[in-house]
Amino acid sequence: MATLTCPNCAAEVMPDDLICFTCGTNLPRTAREDDNPSPTTVMQEYLRPETRPNAISPAVLRLSFPTGNVEVPAGTTLLLGRDPAESLVAAAFASFDNVSRRHATVMVDDRGQASIRDENSTNGTFVNGDRVLPGIAVRLADGDVVRLAADVSAEVNLPRQEPDPASYSRE
């Protein structure tokens, strides 16, 4: 059997060692002839990226505030707040002093799944009465109620996504 040495400190190591016990360096692993790749598991198959092109969903999230509707198409984000330099919908919150200038961000990914994240607002963001922790995105579903601060509520309208018939196969 050939003597193997650590590439970092030149200490003698065994062929099955993963690290050098002298200096702690990770040792390169050489493939053996009897090493077969493990079979693909069901989870790996499920997580494999799709081969078809990723199309952006036609879904549009609608938040129905008392001052008007805010719509967020799939593949976009929108900042909710009173600062017109930051938020495209600042006019909807201009009369609410308890809404922060940068209150919350609403995101709709390319697949049409929506979420909201509190942007360290002073008076909080709530989904169905539960406070959203700052910086943590919370998933939104059709029928949820989003509240900014104490008194600015909106109902979430997010159409249910039906599978694309083109994605079906005969297999």
Count helices and strands (H / E) in the chain.
Answer: 1, 12
Q: What are phi and psi of 12, to 5 degrees?
A: -75, 135
pLDDT given for residue 127 in this prediction: 95
pLDDT given for residue 81 in this prediction: 93
- Mean pLDDT for each 10-residue chunk of the chain (171 residues)? 79 81 75 60 54 69 89 91 90 90 93 92 94 94 94 88 56 53
Helices (H), the chain: 42-47
> What is the distance between the alpha carbons of residues 125 and 66, in angstroms, rounded to a whole number?
16
pLDDT given for residue 79 in this prediction: 94
